[in-house]
Amino acid sequence: MIRVLLADDEGMIRSALAALLRLESDIDVVAECADGADALEQAQRLRPDVCLLDLEMPRMDGVEVAEQLRRSLATRCVIVTRHARPGVLRRALASGAAGFLPKSRGADEVAAVIRRVAGGARYVDPEIAADALSDERSPLTDRELDVLRAGRGGQSTRQIAQALHLAPGTVRNHISAALGKLRVENRQQAVAMAEERGWI
């Protein structure tokens, strides 16, 4: 029996998918979570074989949960998303996620991916993989992306500096470099572009 944790902040989608997966004779949905922090806590407690994680959730997104679990458990993670941008795929794979698929797939396909991942294989939706091969890579450094990610909620330069343990002047330098590389006028535009392209 494959023990699965399912995390999605959209209650109707979460409960419907859980009900459909429970019809599979070899899959047991052991937990349903509405946000990333709860998913991380429940996964550490229940130790499921596979975590099926929505990319966009409150408190922690699916990639952040997968990254945390990779450090502490042998649980394998599959990221599902409505916005399957190539940059997000790269971020998911870098986090250690074993699978990546769009929410448009049916429950039978999701079950097949769960079995595949539980068996030790990896799965990336072919259409997303093809897009990723042709998509441009971010021109920003990892630290510049960290600064944009830390400021995506409108945080001040000082707040970003505190979160990343950097001097405010260093944060301003990274923001200035990012604006120049992306050819935008302000940090909000840089964040929007980085999000749209899946870099953060």
117-147 pLDDT tens trace:
999 999 988 877 776 665 667 889 989 999 9
Per the prediction, the chain carries an average pLDDT of 90
Q: Let me know whether 110 and 180 are in one domain.
A: no
Vertex 10: Cα angle to 8 and 12 (nearest 5): 110
Say yes or no: 124 and 154 in one domain: no
Same domain? 41 vs 87: yes
Question: Are 149 and 129 contained in the same domain?
Answer: no
Q: Is 120 in the same domain as 28?
A: yes
DSSP assignment letter at 166: -
Residue 107 pLDDT more than 70?
A: yes
Residues 59 and 124 both lie in one domain = yes
Other C-beta atoms closer than 10 Å to the C-beta of 188 total: 12
Looking at residue 132, its pLDDT comes to: 66
Whether residues 38 and 85 share a domain: the answer is: yes
Is the predicted pLDDT of residue 38 greater than 90, yes or no? yes
0.75 surpassed by pTM: no
Domain boundary among 112, 133, 154: 133
Indicate if the pLDDT at residue 27 is higher than 70: yes
Please check whether residues 12 and 110 belong to one and the same domain: yes
pLDDT for 131: 67
Residue at token pair 């929505």: 54
Contact 157, 175 (CB under 8 A): yes
How would residue 71 be classed by pLDDT, with cut points 50, 70 and 90? confident
Task: Provide DSSP, 18-49.
Answer: HHHHHTSTTEEEEEEESSHHHHHHHHHHH--S
> Strands, E, within the chain: which ranges?
2-7, 27-33, 50-54, 76-81, 99-102, 123-124
Which of 90, 109, 133 is the last residue in one of the domains?
133
pLDDT tier at 113, thresholds 50, 70, 90 = very high
Structure confidence by residue, pLDDT tens digits, 144-193: 999 999 998 889 999 999 999 999 999 999 999 999 999 999 999 999 88
Domain with residue 186: its CATH number is 1.10.10.10
Q: Which residues fall within 8 angstroms of residue 45, CB to CB, at 6 or more apart? A: none
Instruction: Provide the domain limits for residue 168.
Output: 142-196
Q: Are 15 and 107 contained in the same domain?
A: yes
Q: Do residue 147 and residue 171 come from a single domain? A: yes
The count of structural domains within the chain is 2
Q: Are residues 40 and 129 in the same domain?
A: yes
Domain boundary among 114, 133, 152: 133
- Shared domain check, 150 and 79: no
For residue 41, what is the domain's CATH number?
Answer: 3.40.50.2300
